[in-house]
Amino acid sequence: MKAVILAGGSGTRLRPFTNATQKQLLPVVNKPVLEYVIEDLKQAGIDDIGVVLGGDFPEKVRERMGDGSEYGVSLTYIHQGEPRGLADAVHCAKEFVDNSPFVVYFGDTITGGDVTAELVREFESSEHEVGIILKAVDDPTRFGIVDLDEEGEIRRILEKPDDPPTNLAYIGVQAYTPTVFDIIEGLEPSDRGELELTHAIDALISEYESYWTETTELWMDVGTVDDLRKANRYFSESLVPKIEGDVSDGAEITGRVRLGEGTTVEAGAEIRGPVHIGEDTSISGDAKIGPYVTVGNRCEIGNADIRSTVIMDAVETDFDCTLAESVIGPRSSLSGTQDRTTSLNLTIGADSSITLGE
């Protein structure tokens, strides 16, 4: 079985961070979302993977993920060209898939447990033309939602309905046979001017045998800045403590803390886990970090009290404040002073320079 990762999209809901990189490369506990996808597919037994590229920074995906050998898989890159919807992105992989059944995985999706592996085990290409996994969601207007009949079978699928018939969304991992390509070739553009994957799945369910199941396992659609914060917080909970950097006497480290190679923590600093700090980062003695903080590689962190925040690579901070529920983009710098009794909630894009007032 092969897999196709959809790694396009403009990521408008993740701006300003997607003004500088592809959304699938944004970090969750210092790993790009796309790395979680690849690891999950490998765990499910799939190592032949096509990556459909689109959006504003497709070359960054190729540069970051390489040929896949670092992850024990083979990556083949497929360029979508002019974006015409998710169904079109799937169709771009027709030559790569050939006659094989395959999994489609949205590149901004993270799953947990055995979700993908179960789909691969249970999907029988001799019996089914499509396999989907359903999960109850809080806001069904954001997703493709199923409508069930009286027997509990899927009647149809609706894309981001204003009046959802259920709260069951199909998640960003599905299985298909090459029959889906014939269906896509017969689709008409939606009101949005796109070829909707929801319409293709709907047609397959109506015309052919399908497999579906409902899961309670983790599924995260990392599509907004708030989603990015939540994903970092969630995966911080399962950190395995490991200190590879240099911690000076007089620094205080409590809870689950992971420090990368080359990272230094000066005397007087306080780190309260769960906290993940990358490589070659320096933490000054007047910094207080955690809980639920991720700091990237090659950062210089000083003076602030930082909580529930994502700090990406190469950020420099020399500011006296309390920072919480924030996301700071790569290569940014922050300085100045702010009353620590008031927490700042900042969303700062890449390559920014911010000076806080007295």
Name all contacts of 240-243 with Cβ < 8 Å and 24+ positions apart. Answer: 241/273
pLDDT digit string (tens) for 309-347?
999 999 999 888 889 999 999 999 998 887 777 788 899
Candidates 217, 235, 43; CA nearest to 133 is 217
Question: Do 152 and 243 have their domain in common?
Answer: no
Residue ranges of the alpha helices (H) in 152-224? 179-185, 197-207
Q: What is the mean pLDDT of residues 137-145?
A: 88
The verdict on 102 and 205 lying in the same domain is yes
The answer to whether position 231 is within a domain reads no
Q: Are residues 147 and 268 in the same domain?
A: no
Please check whether residues 116 and 41 belong to one and the same domain: yes
User: Using CA atoms, how far apart are residues 281 and 234, in angstroms rounded to an integer?
Assistant: 23
Q: Mean pLDDT over residues 190-219, rounded?
A: 89
Shared domain for 207 and 94, answered yes or no, is yes
Boundary of a domain, candidates 195, 225, 255: 225
Res. 50: pLDDT tops 90 = yes
Asked whether the beta carbons of 184 and 88 are under 8 A apart, the reply is: yes
Instruction: Examine the domain organization and report whether 220 and 253 are in the same domain.
Output: no
- Average pLDDT (72-88) is 91
Domain boundary among 225, 249, 284: 225
Report the percent of the chain where pLDDT is more than 70: 99
Weakest mean pLDDT among 7-11, 131-135, 270-274, 311-315: 7-11
- Domain around 23: 2-225
User: What is the total count of domains within the chain?
Assistant: 2
Based on the fold, state whether residues 219 and 294 are members of the same structural domain.
no
Could you tell me if 246 and 219 lie in one domain? no
Rounded mean pLDDT of the chain?
91
pLDDT band at 160 (very low <50, low <70, confident <90, very high): confident
Determine the pLDDT at residue 48.
97
